[in-house]
Amino acid sequence: MPDLSFESQLTGYVCGVDEAGRGPCAGPLCVAAVILDQDNIPEMIRDSKKLTEKQRFNIEPLIKQSALAWSVVEVSCELIDCLNILQATLWGMAEAVARLPLKADHALIDGNRAPILGIPAQTIIKGDDRSLSIAAASILAKTARDRIMIEMDSIYPAYGFKKHKGYQAKAHLEAISLHGPSPIHRRSWATVRNLATTAQ
């Protein structure tokens, strides 16, 4: 279970940063930054992957209401194609921290790569399972992205985005092969390029 072990070693405002959507071949990347009120933390905060979709959507408003500050950044598939997924992720992380309405003194970053932030940053492997601040950010990033993909399902119903959220599920790949890529597919992904050729 995530806790405040990393946060307690730091002074000032500590933000957790995490993303959702690095793996899918469609849709945006979403990155969140959260500064928790360490005296008012909702129960059930944990790695978003260990929660059901319903649980994530239920806890999302509790995090937003109780946190000292939070932000969510959407990184478009066009920017991902332009920069590559790693650079797009780092850009999104920096932007999420910069957009916090309360300036953070330290950042805890999920993973092993940190962007240049102008404040001290610590990367934590599997941080969303170890730090409550990162876990909270993982939930906000995931719910923001899921909400976008559910909306995209109504705009591009042939692809089943509501179900698989743009990940490379068999039904999703078959839909790309049949219909070609939609405007929200990542054209730099080899899978999308190859299936686009098949659909022509």
Q: What is the pLDDT of residues 93-120, one digit of tens each?
A: 999 999 999 999 999 999 999 999 999 9
Q: If you average pLDDT over residues 143-171, what whole number do you get?
A: 96
Asked if pLDDT for residue 200 goes beyond 60, the answer is no
Q: What are the structural domains, with CATH classification, of the chain?
A: 5-150 (3.30.420.10)
Per-residue pLDDT tens for 82-100? 999 999 999 999 999 999 9
CA dihedral sign, ordered 105, 108, 113, 115? negative
Residue 199's pLDDT band, with cuts at 50, 70 and 90, is low
Asked if pLDDT for residue 196 goes beyond 90, the answer is no
19 labelled ligand-binding: yes
153 labelled ligand-binding: no
Q: What pLDDT, on the 0 to 100 scale, is given for residue 100? A: 98
Rounded percentage of the chain residues whose pLDDT exceeds 70: 99
pTM for the whole thing?
Answer: 0.96
Q: Which residues pair with 16 in a beta bridge?
A: 34, 108
- DSSP per residue, 143-155: HHHHHHHHHHHHH
Q: Which residues pair with 69 in a beta bridge?
A: 35
Helix (H, G, I), strand (E, B) or coil at 105: coil
Contacts of 45 (CB under 8 A, 6+ apart): 2, 59, 63, 132, 135, 136, 139
Q: Are 91 and 66 in contact (CB under 8 A)?
A: no
Query: What's the one-letter identity of residue 122?
Result: Q
Q: If you average pLDDT over residues 12-19, what whole number do you get?
A: 98
Nearest to 111 by CA among 139, 131, 95: 131
Q: What gap in Å lies between CA 103 and CA 119, rounded to an integer? A: 10
Question: What is the residue-averaged pLDDT of the chain?
Answer: 95
Q: If you average pLDDT over residues 117-139, what whole number do you get?
A: 97
End-to-end CA distance of the chain: 48
Per-residue pLDDT tens for 28-64? 999 999 999 999 999 999 999 999 999 999 999 999 9
Alpha-helical (H) ranges within the chain are: 5-8, 53-66, 77-83, 85-98, 132-155, 161-164, 170-179, 190-199
Per-residue pLDDT tens for 174-191? 999 999 999 999 999 999
Q: Are 26 and 117 in contact (CB under 8 A)?
A: no
Asked if pLDDT for residue 72 goes beyond 70, the answer is yes
Query: What's the one-letter identity of residue 141?
Result: A
105 labelled ligand-binding: no
